[in-house]
Amino acid sequence: MEGRAQNNNCCIFSVKQNQLTKMKKCFMFASALLCTSAVLANHSKLNNRIEILSKEAVSVTISITADGKPVKGALVRITSSGMAVGAATSDETGKAAISLPTYGKQLVTIQVSHAMYKDQKLAEIVLENGATFDFVLKSKTESAEMITTESQEKVAKIEEKTAKSEEKTTEYETDAEKLAREREEAVRSQEQLRKEREEAERIATEKKKAAEEKQNTVEKTRETADKERSEAERIKQEAASTTTEEAKRREAEAKQRQQEEAERLKTLEGSKLTDAKAAEDKAKQEAAQKQKEQEKERSEAEKKAKEQEEKAKTEKKAQEEKENAAKEKVENEKEALKEEEKKAEKEAEAKKEAEKEAKEAEKEAREAEKEAKEAEKEAKEAAEEKEAAEELKAKLAKYDEEQKEIDEERQELKKEQKKLDDKIKKGKKLDKLKEDQEKLNEKNKKLDEKQEKLDEKRKKAIKKSK
């Protein structure tokens, strides 16, 4: 019996051990299956992410300058493996914006070309959304602005020489006039000097009148200048306002374009670059048109510069001839003066008399200046009196307001007095009414004092202004 029992126990233990082994195998298989599923799921997510990244769109800006100034009309092309994937033409600010609807981080080349500048390119680069690439072009030929600037410098030099010649001519003419006057003075007799003194007095009167008229003209000129400056300031403000409004409008249009571009990009799929042949052709036409216009401007500027230089040279030549004529006149006057200087000694006494009259005229001028100062003093006193009158007027207006307040208080007291009189007529509570009457009398007394103070202030203000 004991042996059978042992055999049975061994069989039971063997069965249980087999069951545990099967359970372990099942558990290991399930674990391996779960791990495989997790790896496959992660791999699927990674593939999806890569696919999403490959569908991104990019927008870049190419900024083009030359000699520190923006270049318009330049053709900008973006190529990949020889195929154009984007193209545009630079605007007035020298910038060209290019958007690629789909881009997968491929290497591209940016090429910039312009008929008046040497071509440049940036090869084997990866574009980043919102990036800006700067290109500085070197000029093949002189631009219209450079031609105009050089011509202006040449004309300025010629005009400077012309101006110097004009100064010399003026000096010669002044010397000639001075010598002529001295010669004429040397040949005059005493009677001629007397007549000339009378003529000088007449001229002095006319000059005084002319000086007054000139002063009026100066004032009108200044007034006109002030108006012109005001008009210029208004025009500047309007121009600045217009510029600000234009900038806001352009900014709004740019935002609208960005929004529309974003909407379009949502509908795009795939990671391959799009062939931009049509855009490239259009950009080429625009660039050619703008460059043709710039070449025309350059030719016109060159023609205009030559005309201005020729004109300046002609004016310079004419001025030099005028200078020589004036110089010759001076020499002639010098010779004539030498002949007459010997005769001028006899007229020295007449000259002294003329100087005496000049001193008397100067004395009269000082007296006139003294009178002008007195008149200015009187005007100042009148202005002070006017200011004092205005101050008095302001004080009296203030006192009138205070008087109005007193009158209003007085009317209120009269009303109270009337009510109190009506109660007294009834003959009731006379003791209480007596107290009320005393209070009312006190109010009237204070108001009278206030009135007296106001009257006193008014009297002092009037007295002070006299």
pLDDT tens digits along 184-216: 887 786 678 678 777 877 877 887 777 678 777
- 379-389 per-position pLDDT tens digit: 888 888 888 88
Question: What percent of the chain shows pLDDT beyond 70?
Answer: 76
Quick check: pTM over 0.85? no
- Interacting residues of 18 by C-beta distance below 8 A, sequence separation 6+: none
> Which of 2.60.40.10, 1.20.1530.20, 3.40.640.10, 3.30.2320.50 is the CATH number of 58-141?
2.60.40.10
pLDDT at 27: 56
pLDDT at 275: 57
- Mean pLDDT on 103-127: 93
3-class DSSP state of 275: coil
String of DSSP letters for 87-132: EEE--TTSEEEEEES---S--EEEEEEETTEEEEEEEEE---TT-E
| pLDDT band for position 271 (cuts 50, 70, 90) | very low
Given the DSSP bridges, would you call strands 58-66 and 132-136 parallel, antiparallel or unpaired? parallel
- 14-24 per-position pLDDT tens digit: 444 555 555 65
Residue 165 confidence (pLDDT) above 50: yes
**Between 238 and 34, where is the model more confident?**
34
pLDDT at 10: 45
Rg from Cα positions in the chain: 53
Residue 440 confidence (pLDDT) above 80: yes
String of DSSP letters for 46-60: HHHHHHHHTT--EEE
**Between 141 and 182, where is the model more confident?**
182
- Mean pLDDT on 282-296: 87
Residue 246 confidence (pLDDT) above 80: no
Cβ contact 137:112 at 8 Å = yes
Q: Give percent helix, percent strand, percent coil of the chain, each to the nearest 5.
A: 75, 10, 10
